[in-house]
Amino acid sequence: MPVLNILHLVGSAHNDFYCDLSRLYAQDCLAATADPSLYNFQIAYITPDRQWRFPDSLSREDIALTKPIPLFDAIQFLTGQNIDMMLPQMFCIPGMTQYRALFDLLKIPYIGNTPDIMAIAAHKARAKAIVEAAGVKVPRGELLRQGDIPTITPPAVVKPVSSDNSLGVVLVKDVTEYDAALKKAFEYADEVIVEAFIELGREVRCGIIVKDGELIGLPLEEYLVDSHDKPIRNYADKLQQTDDGDLHLTAKDNIKAWILDPNDPITQKVQQVAKRCHQALGCRHYSLFDFRIDPKGQPWFLEAGLYCSFAPKSVISSMAKAAGISLNDLLISAINETLGSNKKVLQN
């Protein structure tokens, strides 16, 4: 059985926050999936100055010791490496779009969704429009630019159209709060969505994986929300920065989020809606969607998050584990979907 040469594409061309977030997940993935009998891992690390490095590891020391090179030199290096496939670990918009497109040009296959699908999913209003056209319920909303005045009567949720981890998201309970909420949201994007607030209910996330061409719904992740004390999730529910400057995944503590019992009656309903979203958006390999569940048990699409780093703490990895699918089997399935059934090199 041949050893696969897999390149981990890590870092961010946008800012240091996304660089650290990418490094955090990729480090965990590298440690958890290392198997010299199956894989030869290489690392490409991109920084916000758009320089490339090819370090031996993702330790700060190894990164600092590695010479930065420009794109042209990086392409020359990549084309001489006999890379079988790439695993994208970048979470910024350039990383999810432009850098994946580069690997399409280089004809190096990669796990995950294509740049056009990633761009659509990253723009919350476009993703909502597509899944709504497929019959999925979405909160009534409007897309605003600087100077536009919201018309939705509060309560409403104001959020940047293209940010993650709840950055810039504000719940507006009175029209007098709109100005401050819009100002905050516009710090993160040039466009802002204002959505009618969906009463709780519950809030869940559903992962879909593809195996042998079949869509498989994974156990749901449920979030800690409360109609009185915590009606929406915020940044602190997802990430925190430690004293040494590293990011910490606060949503992985089984307090703010947990895997739902698959026998919960909401599971099958949400999985069916998530599969419809997956198909409507044209996803491949895997997908991930957030839903608000109203008091009547109706799921409402909130957003798509079409990434998985294959780290143990990745949401899809956690969901798969709860379904009895090990991280190694999850990665092998994704590799086989990526390379095509006629090129399968791994068995799981």
Candidates 3.40.50.2000, 3.30.1490.20, 3.10.110.10, 3.10.450.50; CATH matching 140-196: 3.30.1490.20
pTM of the predicted protein model: 0.89
Burial 50-72 (b: 16+ CB within 10 A, else e): bbbbbbeebeeeebeebebeeee
CA quadruple 197, 201, 202, 205: dihedral sign? negative
Fold designation for 200-306: D-amino Acid Aminotransferase; Chain A, domain 1 (3.30.470)
Where do the structural domains in the chain lie, given as residue ranges? 4-111, 140-196, 200-306
Q: How many CB atoms lie within 10 A of CB 34?
A: 10
Per-residue pLDDT for the chain (348 aa), expressed as one digit of tens each? Answer: 689 999 999 999 999 999 999 999 999 999 999 999 999 999 999 999 999 999 999 999 999 999 999 999 999 999 999 999 999 999 999 999 999 999 999 999 999 999 999 999 999 999 999 999 999 999 999 999 999 999 999 999 999 998 765 688 999 999 999 999 999 999 999 999 999 999 988 999 999 999 988 999 999 999 987 665 656 655 454 445 545 555 445 455 556 889 999 999 999 999 999 999 999 999 999 999 999 999 999 999 999 999 899 999 999 999 999 999 999 999 999 999 999 854 555 665
Place of tokens 């802002």: 192
Q: Which of 312, 342, 306, 344 is nearest to 328 (CA)?
A: 312
Phi–psi pair at 36, nearest 5 degrees: -60, -20
Q: First-to-last CA distance in the chain?
A: 13
Helix (H) or strand (E) holding 25: helix 16-33
- Domain 4-111 - what CATH class? alpha beta
